[in-house]
Structure 1
Amino acid sequence: MEHCVDDNAWRTEDDSVELYRYVIRYRDLGLSAVAERLGWSEQRTAAAVERLRQLELVVPLFGERSNLGVSTPRSVASRLLTPLDRRIEALEHEAEGLRADLARYQVTYDEVVREVQDRQEFGTVAGLDTINAELEAVAGRCVEEVLTVQPGGGRKAESLAASWEPTRAMLERGVCMRTIYQHSARFHPATRQYAKQILGYGGAVRSIDECTDRLIIFDRKVAFIPARDDRQVALVIHQPAVVEFLVLVFERFWSIATPFADRNRAPEVKNLLSDVRLSIIKLLAEGETDTAIARRLGVSVRTCRSHIAKIYEEFGARSRCQLGVLIGRSGVLGPGGSQDAEVAEAS
């Protein structure tokens, strides 16, 4: 029975749609007649009517509140929405004005910050987000050349995706870009794809077995290097002599690096693996641990140990000490290697 149902539990929106359908069909039916035919309480009916009245979809006939007439949604829409459209237009105009005002202040801010930075020979930037924002800002002002060293093997796909837009913008406006990776990056799909994009826009990419820490130089005027091992703080360098020294460091690595090809070809892979193995042999001879060698070559410890196992096999060594002696005797490290082996053997 109807009185057993709590009218407040009914959803007014659904009721108003049902009532609207009914009034359209029977037109000027009175309110009490509608309630009776639908089997609704007067409270439920009144709530649905009120919703339709708010939308101006029903109107009282001849000034009587009990009988209802119907308006079409299309005719009501323009009447109700026009004021809202005007308000939206006014807010958009206000937002555009505010955006333009703030843009003028941003220009002033950027100019002053640039002047202050240019007067400071050294500065620090803390936090990855802040560092990346500063790099993007300086990249936006770069007009001639950017030199980068990206050690540590392949880079995360997310980092590469985030850095591509400012990189592409520089390349499109004719900035000369040269990038150095470590050999291990050649076997990392995301980094290979990123290098391919750079090459496609006229940039140059090379790789090397072992190189310096991360280094980015813009227009030979400002350089970024890590100020901490975790790379959470960057040192920003404007001092001309130091920047020039870092450029010379880059050029030295660039001159001995291997061009980064579109595809890994078998002969090149063989040569790269030989370079990696030789670097590992040198570091083993220096007494470096597996972890330290892996970090310096930008490979995982597991990959590093796999190379070391093959080196043990090639030299026929059964211990680290014996391997050091055999490496020295082999002459693979040059003239000084055999002398070192004799000293190691004597000791």
Structure 2
Amino acid sequence: MKTQEDDAVELYRLMIGRPDLELPGAGEVLGWSGKRTTAAAERLSEYGLLVPLLGEKEAFVVSTPRNAVSRLVAPLDQQIEHLEREAERLRADLGRYQVTYDEAVRGTGGGNDIRVISGLEAINAELEDAAARCTEEVLTVQPGGGRKAESLAASWEPTRAMLERGVQMRTIYQHSARFHPATRQYVNQVCTHGGAVRSVHECTDRMIIIDRKVAFIPARSDRQIALAIHQPAVVEFLVSVFERFWNDATPFSARNRAPEVKTLLSDVRMSIIKLLAEGETDNAIARRLGVSVRTCRSHIAKIYDELGARSRCQLGVLIATSGILDAADGEQGDSGVGG
């Protein structure tokens, strides 16, 4: 049994091919009653797919679905944009109160070892405040490949101010950031002013440690909530995590040299092989290595060619039986013993 929606589709199809028809004529062609034709036309009018001619009751102009969507959705988009701005304003306003609350609790000895900071603006305000009060050292882990040029530009002034007053700064990126022009330029600025930057193929989530007294880590994947950790034992543990990554990292040169690129690509390729052996998906591998899914799949395609694999299953078998993973583990073990 046809529904009113089916009738509307059928009438719309007819009116597209016969724009000269008025409603009564369209009803006759379709063999419908006047009531049925009117109901279908009203449905199309609701969507803006049939637009009545000025001064005419039975004559209509056919509109495209694309135009109809623009008319109907535009007000909704405006409402959503307004609500998003309002939500961001509320987060920022309440974030300021959160800072006040945290400072008050800390001042009364409330045992505020781990604090929750909500909202990007409040998080940035807290980080800027901590950076302004920093006197000795900043340790930073920045995973996920190259950073946005706007983000780098916004962070440069407070970074420069810290470096110029003698704060020691060490930063860890992922290897993929070396191929991002804006990030390379930023790293060159940091190193020129006395900072030190290295990169690894895979690292922990974002982390900022100030003077080994407070550590900031994300509490949610969208980074809209962060934790400020003052508990000495936890901060010390996070410092030890940073140091382990730092000791295994490669100095981040301002210019990519051919031998370094070859080594980096080899490291990235080996990391992908290990993750493939663990059964990770392309998306998960890309996320962990800080590269795009497209770049990740390009590496995987080359691994397919090198091992002669024709399917994911065969690739897994070849990785397991080729001795690649054993050889890689052996090389790491040899380098560790040799100092």
Q: Which residue of 2 aligns with 1:221?
A: 213
1:132 and 2:124 are equivalent in the alignment: yes
State how far apart, in whole Å, the 2-side matches of 1:174 and 1:152 are.
Answer: 28
1:185–1:334 distance in 2 versus 1, CA, 3 Å? same
- Select 2:316's aligned residue among 319, 324, 329: 324
1:120–1:109 distance in 2 versus 1, CA, 3 Å? closer
What is the Cα deviation at residue 118 of structure 1? Answer: 8.8
1:256 and 2:248 are equivalent in the alignment: yes
1:270 and 2:270 are equivalent in the alignment: no
- Select 2:299's aligned residue among 300, 307, 316: 307
| Structure exhibiting the larger radius of gyration computed from Cα positions | 1
Q: Give the 3-state SS of the residue equivalent to 2:324 in structure 1.
A: coil
What is the Cα deviation at residue 128 of structure 1? Answer: 1.0
Alignment of 1:270-309 (within 5 A): 270-309=262-301
Alignment of 1:179-198 (within 5 A): 179-198=171-190
CA contact (8 A) 1:118 1:238 kept: no
State how far apart, in whole Å, the 2-side matches of 1:133 and 1:111 are.
Answer: 13
State how far apart, in whole Å, the 2-side matches of 1:316 and 1:267 are.
Answer: 26
Identity %: 78
What is the Cα deviation at residue 111 of structure 1? Answer: 7.4
- Select 1:202's aligned residue among 174, 194, 201: 194
Q: Which residue of 1 aligns with 2:337?
A: none
Give the 4+ runs in structure 1 shifted more than 6 A.
108-111
State how far apart, in whole Å, the 2-side matches of 1:255 and 1:336 are.
Answer: 18
State how far apart, in whole Å, the 1-side matches of 2:328 and 2:254 are.
Answer: 38
Equivalent residue letter for 1:242: V
State how far apart, in whole Å, the 2-side matches of 1:227 and 1:132 are.
Answer: 14
Q: Give the 3-state SS of the residue equivalent to 2:146 in structure 1.
A: coil
State how far apart, in whole Å, the 2-side matches of 1:120 and 1:138 are.
Answer: 16
1:319–1:335 distance in 2 versus 1, CA, 3 Å? same
What is the Cα deviation at residue 115 of structure 1? Answer: 3.4
State how far apart, in whole Å, the 2-side matches of 1:117 and 1:290 are.
Answer: 48
Equivalent residue letter for 1:189: P
Gaps of 5+ in 2: 1-99, 330-339
1:176 and 2:168 are equivalent in the alignment: yes
Q: Give the 3-state SS of the residue equivalent to 2:204 in structure 1.
A: coil
State how far apart, in whole Å, the 2-side matches of 1:113 and 1:142 are.
Answer: 21
Q: Give the 3-state SS of the residue equivalent to 1:180 in structure 2.
A: strand
State how far apart, in whole Å, the 2-side matches of 1:218 and 1:281 are.
Answer: 36
TM-score (norm 1): 0.64
TM-score (norm 2): 0.65
State how far apart, in whole Å, the 2-side matches of 1:117 and 1:201 are.
Answer: 38
1:243–1:230 distance in 2 versus 1, CA, 3 Å? same
State how far apart, in whole Å, the 2-side matches of 1:282 and 1:127 are.
Answer: 36
Taking only aligned residues, the RMSD between alpha carbons, in angstroms, comes to 2.0
1:290–1:143 distance in 2 versus 1, CA, 3 Å? same
1:285–1:299 distance in 2 versus 1, CA, 3 Å? same
